[in-house]
Structure formats: structure tokens, C-alpha cells
Amino acid sequence: MSSTSHLNPNDEAERLRLFISRISDYAIYMLSPEGVVASWNAGAERFKGYTPEEIIGQHFSRFYSEEDRAAGIPAKALKQAREQGKFEAEGWRMRKDGTRFWAHVVIDPIIDESGELVGFAKITRDVTDKRVAQEALRESEERFRMLVQGVTDYAIYMLSPTGVVTNWNAGARRIKGFDDGEVIGSHFSRFYTDEDREKGTPARALAEATANGRFEAEGWRVRKDGTRFWAHVVIDSIRTESGELAGFAKITRDITERRLAAQELEKAREAMFQSQKLEAIGKLTGGVAHDFNNLLSVITNGLDLLRNSVKDSGAVNLINSMEKAALRGASLTNQLLTFARQQPVSPEPRQLNRVITAFESVLRRATRSSIKFELELTESLPTVMIDVALFETALLNLVVNANDATLDGGSIRVATQVDTLGEGEVGNLPQGSYVVMSVQDTGSGMPAEVVARAVEPFFTTKPVGKGTGLGLSQVYGMVQQCGGDMKITSHVAQGTTISLYFPISDEDPVQESLPPPSDKVLIVDDQPDVLEMASEIFRSLGFHVITATSGRQALEILARTHDIHFLFSDVVMPGLSGIELGLKAQEISPKTKVLLASGYAAPAGSMKGFEFVAKPYRIADILKKLRLLA
């Protein structure tokens, strides 16, 4: 017969009492039904500070703060435990020394076998450190939230793993224009342009951020009102400790102004590069321009003189062809000097029809005989302020371009009229009336992208060796320096019309008069062939010609010949320049009129009282200047 040993209930209760009394991490003690402390363990003594003798028999409410006792919280705790079978809460509790600690409290009712309440079991734990850590975390999160919400220069918000907006800061509201309620819960792709959404840009951004941890880019984004802004965007993936994707942090900044500033800087750099290029062109061409124009002067004026003495039509046609080539060479040189040297403009009041009519023969010779050339000039035009030489060069450029673009059987028409414009209707011209000179052709025309670049220096659609890209630039520069503007109307296969708008002047137009042909002229040039050709021009005009090959020789002639009416001199000569010669000539003979010529641009300053003609000059150019001096 086996026997089984049984535990003594008294021994078991004793062991349990000893176990509870020695626990130091928890305050475990008994309360009477009224809340009086009936037992006290080591844990209660450790973090509440009372010995068993000091606290047993005292009401447990003494552990509560005065505020809690005034609010009746101890009694409410016992009532809840009694009625609901348990009370659990956290709150401030008091130690013996008056300091506070944050406690986690559980109160369980103790019911005997008859169902009577015999008391309460109360377990308290000091969780102050945990609360401090939680509070620090909460404060840190609150500070971070305030920081994010307070930022207005950046849109900072979170996205779910699928790209749905989950929060929204003040910067996002300011930059994108949406309130929190309008955007939270919607997909972030709504901020992209239609084009980007069609290309799948939002999805690619999230995919890159998921794969690489980060996505960064710039591009157009759309505000609530539909306007666009240039944004710098960073998307970072957010993962849990286990590596699972929790969502994305998205930061967007409006950098439209910075982008515009960068574009303006780039334009400034391009302009500086263009300026440096023009300066290099000037240095390259300046050294040869003078000699080249001397040669062209001999050729063009020799052709003029030959035409008057040749009767054979075949020979005349040949002379005309040679003259066209010389005119193109002169036009190219003038274009280079205009942009490389910033040739100064000398505007004067002119009647545009008279200038065009006087230049008509040159324009007709610049066009092929197979193309119809016509003038359609409105009568009684108002006066405009133009530099005649630059205007004629510009007009010749336009006619030559039209000739190149027009097939045989086509037409070129030069027209003038008065037009009334609204504010900004053409370029930046103010509202008002303008004299318009237009060159219209029936040629190949230009597409819109070519029209947009047509006036850029060195831009040309012509084959290599067929154009410099300076022609329209020179025209545009001339009309703007005269206070006007240019308009290009062109359609592919339908032709082109280029219109120059000149402000109307109140001044009376210049009246030209021809000097008496019996006058004496002293011609000075260090180049014998140029000197000879200039002499022939003046003789053909009926002048008595005296020549000199240097400034010193010319002064000697002026000193002994007192009836010289005109001095015609090259500007660039060894020893004494043409300007210096002109000044000394007027000291010797104040009535002598001075006309200077050069293959360079007109010298700035020191020209008061003188007239200037650019090489290569023609007989008509000489006549115009002589009329001004007469």
C-alpha cells in the first residue's frame, strides 16, 4: 500500500507569504474592504519608503496626490474593482519623502467562499523611467511635428506604400495650394503634369525610391489652381525594423525663381560668348577690311565708269554681273564691321521714298532678270530718322535674300506705307503710327522655328559658303538703332514678308543740293589705284581734280592753292591721318569742305564738320555726301 505525502496548508501559506514579502520590484499588499493597508512587502517598502510598522493600519489613499484625493480617485478605484472585478490605471503616487513617482496600479477584489468581499489585493509598479522615456519620445515627436508643420519653404509630407498622401504640412499648403482635407487620402500623382502621368513618372519615382532607398529629380509640378512650378523633389523610402516598406517621406521645394535665374545666367553667358565671338571677328576682319574695301572701291567705280562708255548689251550684262559680285562683297564687309566694331549710327531726317527711289537701280541690278521687281511706294510719307548708308545696306540685304529664295518667274516687291499699331503689337513698340518699309517675295518661305532664330548673328540655313548669317542681324540691328522694330511673316512655299517699322519724326527732311561741277577737289590717298579711280569719279562729275599721295604733300598743295573747295581723303594713311589732315586743312583754308573715306567703320568723335563715306563707295554715294557739304 503506497502512501502519498500531503502539503500542510499552513506551510504553503507561509511559503507564499515569504515569496510575496521578498519581492522588491513590485509593491504587493492587502487592503481591507475599506482600503486600510493590511500587509506590506519589500517592494512596497523600497519604492514607497514606508516600513510595515509605519503603514499597516493606514488608509491607502495617503499614497495619492492631494489633487487625486480631492477628486475622490481612491474611492473610485475601490468601487470599480468591487463592481467590475478589477481596476487598472497609471498615475502619480506619493512617497514617504513627498516625492512623486509614476505608478502602474492593479487592484483586484478578494471574495471568500460565501461571496463576501474580504478585501483587495493591490499591486503597484514604479514605471517612472518608462514614463520619462515615453514623455521624451512624445515631446520629441511633438517638436518634430511642430518643426515639419512650421516649415513653409518646403512641402514635407508622408506617402503610403502605394503613394497615397497621409499627412500635409504648411509648406505643402503654401506651395501647392491644397488644404489638408483636400489632399490627404488622395494619390500624390495629382501633383504631376498630364504628360508626366501619361509617361508613368510618379510610379517610376516610387519604384526607384523603393529599390534604391531614394529618388531625387527636378521637373514641372501643378498647383491647385492649375499653374505650374519647377520643383526639386526628394522621395525617401521608410522601412520598419524588420525591413518592411512602411511608406515614403516626400520633400518638394519650389525652385522656379532659381531656375529662371539660372536661365537668365545662361543667356548672359551666351551673350558674353556672342560678344567675344564678335570681338574675335572684329580683330580678324579689321586688319584686312581697309585694303579689301579699297579694292572693292576700284572695282565698283570702275564698273560704273565702264557702263557709261560701253554700248554693247552683252558687255553691259557682264558688267552688271561683276557689279553684283562686288556689291555682295561690300555688303559682307559692312556686315562684319557693323557687328564686330559696333559701327555708330548717324540718323538724319529723311523721306524714305526718295532714299529708296535713288537706290532703285542698285536694287534692280541685285535681282535676276527672271524675277519681277517692283516698287509700291505710298505717296506723301512722313519723315523718319535713318542712317542712309546703313538703311541702304539693310535694304540691299533684304532684296538679295529675297532674290536667293525666289525661283525664276517669281516676284519681289518693295513697298512703303503708314501703319497704326497697338501697344506691343510689333515687338516692344509703343502704340502709335509708323512708317513701314517691307520687302515681300514669293519664294520658299521659312518654317516657324527658322523665323524664331532668323535674326541671330551667324544663324543661316544656306549651304556652307553661301551665307554668313549676318544679313538679317544687320537689318534688325539697324532698325532697332533707329528706334523701330522688325516683323517677319513667312509660310513655307508661300513666300516671306519682312517689314521694318520706323517712328515718325517731326523734323523736316534733309534737302540735298549738288555742288557746282567747276569746283576744285583735292584727292588724297596713299594707294595709287584707289587714288586714280577716285580721280576718275570726280572728273566724271565735272570737277577739277588735284591729287596727293600723302597728308604732307596735300598740306603743301593747300598752302599754295587757296581756291580748293573740297578735300577728299582716305582716313588711314602713314604719317598724317585723314582726320588730322582735315583739321589742318580747315586751319589753312576755312572754306574747304572735308569728305573722308575709309574701309573701316566711321571713326568715333573728331568728325565734327566733316562728312564720311565708307569704302567701297559708289558715284551715287559721293554725290550724296557732296550735296550735304554744299
Torsion sign (Cα): 390, 391, 392, 397: positive
Domain ranges of the chain: 9-132, 151-254, 278-505, 520-629
pLDDT in tens, 112-142: 888 899 999 999 998 888 888 777 777 766 6
| Candidates 3.40.50.2300, 3.40.50.970, 3.10.450.50, 3.40.50.720; CATH matching 520-629 | 3.40.50.2300
> What is the pLDDT at residue 451?
83
> What is the pLDDT at residue 318?
73
Spell out the residues 6+ positions from residue 161 whose beta carbon is closer than 8 angstroms to its own: 245, 246, 247, 248
pLDDT at 323 over 80: no
- In this structure, of 166-170, 189-193, 309-313, 387-391, the range with the lowest mean pLDDT score is 309-313
* Torsion angle of the four alpha carbons 112, 113, 114, 119, in this order, in degrees rounded to the nearest 10: 0
Measured CA to CA, the distance from residue 472 to residue 456 in angstroms comes to 8
| Candidates 3.40.50.11030, 3.30.450.20, 3.30.70.360, 3.50.40.10; CATH matching 9-132 | 3.30.450.20
> What is the pLDDT at residue 4?
43
State the CB neighbour count (10 A cutoff) for residue 107. Answer: 22
Higher model confidence: residue 293 or residue 74? 74
> What is the pLDDT at residue 518?
65
Which string of b and e fits 49-84 if b means at least 16 CB within 10 Å? ebebeebeeebbbebbeeebbeeeebeebbebbbee
> What is the pLDDT at residue 312?
75
> What is the pLDDT at residue 468?
45
Facing residues of 93 across strands? Answer: 64, 101
- The 3 state secondary structure assigned to 417-440 is EEEEECCCCCCCCCCEEEEEEEEE
State the CB neighbour count (10 A cutoff) for residue 378. Answer: 13
User: Could you tell me if residue 7 is left (phi over 0), alpha (psi between -120 and 50 degrees) or otherwise beta?
Assistant: beta
Q: Are 394 and 479 in contact (CB under 8 A)?
A: yes
Q: Are 581 and 554 in contact (CB under 8 A)?
A: yes
Q: How far apart are the first and last CA of the chain?
A: 160
CA-based max dimension of the chain? 171
Q: Please give the C-alpha separations between residue 265 and each of 258, 262, 271, 301, 459, in angstroms, as whole numbers.
A: 10, 5, 10, 48, 22
- In this structure, of 127-141, 146-160, 277-291, the range with the lowest mean pLDDT score is 277-291
Mean pLDDT over 324-349 rounds to 62
Q: Please give the C-alpha separations between residue 523 and each of 303, 595, 602, in angstroms, as whole numbers.
A: 20, 10, 19
Tracing cell 596713299 back to the chain, one arrives at 526
> What is the pLDDT at residue 3?
42
pLDDT in tens, 424-482: 899 889 999 999 999 999 999 989 888 887 776 555 555 444 444 455 777 887 888 88
- Phi, psi values for residue 454, rounded to 5°: -60, -35
The beta strand positions in 51-114, using DSSP E, are 87-94, 100-111
C-alpha cell, 540: 566724271
pLDDT in tens, 572-585: 888 899 999 999 99
> What is the pLDDT at residue 334?
61
Measured CA to CA, the distance from residue 377 to residue 437 in angstroms comes to 9
- Phi, psi values for residue 25, rounded to 5°: -90, -15
> What is the pLDDT at residue 213?
92
> What is the pLDDT at residue 340?
45
pLDDT at 5 over 60: no
> What is the pLDDT at residue 422?
92
**pTM confidence score:** 0.42
Q: Are 17 and 29 in contact (CB under 8 A)?
A: no
Query: How would DSSP label each residue in 136-192?
Result: HHHHHHHHHHHHHHH--SEEEEEE-TTSBB----HHHHHHH---HHHHTTSBGGGGB
* Ranges of H-type helices in 310-406: 313-341, 352-358, 360-365, 388-405
C-alpha cell, 166: 497621409
pLDDT in tens, 189-221: 999 999 999 999 999 999 999 999 999 999 999
- In this structure, of 56-70, 208-222, 614-628, the range with the lowest mean pLDDT score is 614-628
- pLDDT tier at 331, thresholds 50, 70, 90: low
The H or E element spanning position 228 is strand 228-239
Q: Are 74 and 68 in contact (CB under 8 A)?
A: yes
Mean pLDDT over 551-559 rounds to 90
Mean pLDDT over 324-344 rounds to 58
Q: Please give the C-alpha separations between residue 235 and each of 198, 221, 397, in angstroms, as whole numbers.
A: 20, 15, 56
Amino acid at 396: L
DSSP helix/strand/coil, 109: strand
Spell out the residues 6+ positions from residue 224 whose beta carbon is closer than 8 angstroms to its own: 176, 177, 178, 182
- pLDDT tier at 333, thresholds 50, 70, 90: low
> Could you name the CATH architecture of 151-254?
2-Layer Sandwich (3.30)
Selection from 164-178, 405-419, 534-548, 606-620 with the highest mean pLDDT: 405-419
- Phi, psi values for residue 239, rounded to 5°: -125, 150
Amino acid at 149: Q
Q: Could you check whether 151-254 and 520-629 share the same CATH topology?
A: no
Torsion sign (Cα): 205, 206, 209, 214: positive
> Could you name the CATH architecture of 278-505?
2-Layer Sandwich (3.30)
